[in-house]
């Protein structure tokens, strides 16, 4: 998606392994007379097939946000068409609810909708499901960002439509002034808690480990994550 809307040329492929292993603050781009900057983040919840584990990816994103002092105008969640997994809700809860206390607008871009006619139908049919799972996005946008290959003649107009729709949402829902709301310690603690849950630790062990690591520095937390949850 970012390749299209931010005019980037990042590596993209269809493998299970993610393309981005570290959060990157992209160069400013002009759109409608306004300068925008995007953070390209690692994909979350790719399990052990990802370039890095989800725990490492989340900690990397938290570091990037902290370096910017949490001053953001909009959260853009990108997920693929299909089943709504618990991991999607966990991601929303961590960033939208816990870290920014629902004070920063969030939009959701659904990719892979090229086989829907029209593309927008998937978002319309599933919007209520997101709401029922506590995910209060300003808008769900059905998109296609597939490129090249034998179906490029069909992809191109859908990709252009998707780019226009995403930019429209960005302009409509971005805050004019950034809001700085950060619960960094709670966010780090949530990463550990989710790791314990994924490993099926009992409640006593989970609470004890969470209390221990919530007092740790970012570097110490990262080291513990490598030992505690290598596949999370």
Tell me the CB-side half-sphere exposure of residue 134, using CA atoms within 13 A: 13
- pLDDT band at residue 184 using 50, 70 and 90 as cut-offs: low
Q: How far apart are CA 125 and CA 42, in angstroms?
A: 28
Query: Rounded to an integer, what is the distance from CA 146 to the centroid of its chain?
Result: 19
Least confident of 17-31, 36-50, 90-104, 191-205: 191-205
pTM, two decimal places: 0.74
Q: How far is CA 152 from CA 110, 114, 119, 149, 157, in A?
A: 19, 11, 16, 6, 9
Q: How far apart are CA 200 and CA 188, in angstroms?
A: 19
Is pLDDT of 140 > 90? Answer: yes
The domain ranges of the chain are: 2-181, 183-232
Whose tokens are 């990262």? That residue is 222
The residue that leads in pLDDT, 143 or 90, is 143
Q: How far apart are CA 182 and CA 4, in angstroms?
A: 30
Q: How far apart are CA 185 and CA 217, in angstroms?
A: 10
Fold designation for 2-181: Rossmann fold (3.40.50)
The segment with the largest mean pLDDT, out of 25-34, 102-111, 204-213, 215-224, is: 102-111
- Close Cβ partners of 123 (under 8 Å, ≥ 6 residues apart): 110, 113, 140, 141, 142
- Contact predicate 1/145, CB 8 Å: yes
């Amino acid at each position: 998606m970012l390749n299209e809307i931010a005019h980037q040329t990042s590596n993209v492929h269809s493998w299970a392994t993610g393309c981005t292993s570290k959060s990157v603050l992209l160069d400013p781009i002009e759109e409608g007379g306004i300068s925008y900057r995007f953070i390209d983040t690692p994909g979350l919840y790719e399990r052990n097939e990802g370039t890095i584990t989800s725990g490492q990816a989340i900690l990397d994103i938290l570091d990037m946000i902290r370096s910017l002092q949490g001053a953001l105008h909009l959260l853009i969640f990108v997920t693929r068409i299909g089943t709504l997994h618990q991991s999607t809700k966990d991601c929303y809860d961590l960033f939208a609810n816990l870290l920014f206390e629902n004070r920063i607008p969030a939009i959701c871009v659904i990719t892979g909708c090229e086989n829907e006619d029209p593309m927008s139908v998937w978002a319309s049919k599933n919007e209520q499901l997101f709401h029922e799972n506590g995910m209060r996005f300003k808008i769900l946008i059905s998109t296609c960002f597939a490129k090249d290959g034998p179906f490029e003649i069909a992809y191109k107009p859908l990709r252009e439509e998707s780019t226009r729709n995403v930019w429209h949402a960005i302009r409509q829902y971005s805050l004019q002034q950034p809001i700085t709301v950060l619960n960094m310690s709670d966010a780090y603690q949530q990463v550990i808690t989710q790791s314990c849950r994924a490993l099926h630790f009992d409640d006593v062990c989970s609470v004890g480990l969470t209390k221990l690591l919530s007092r740790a520095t970012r570097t110490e937390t990262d080291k513990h994550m490598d030992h505690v949850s290598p596949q999370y």
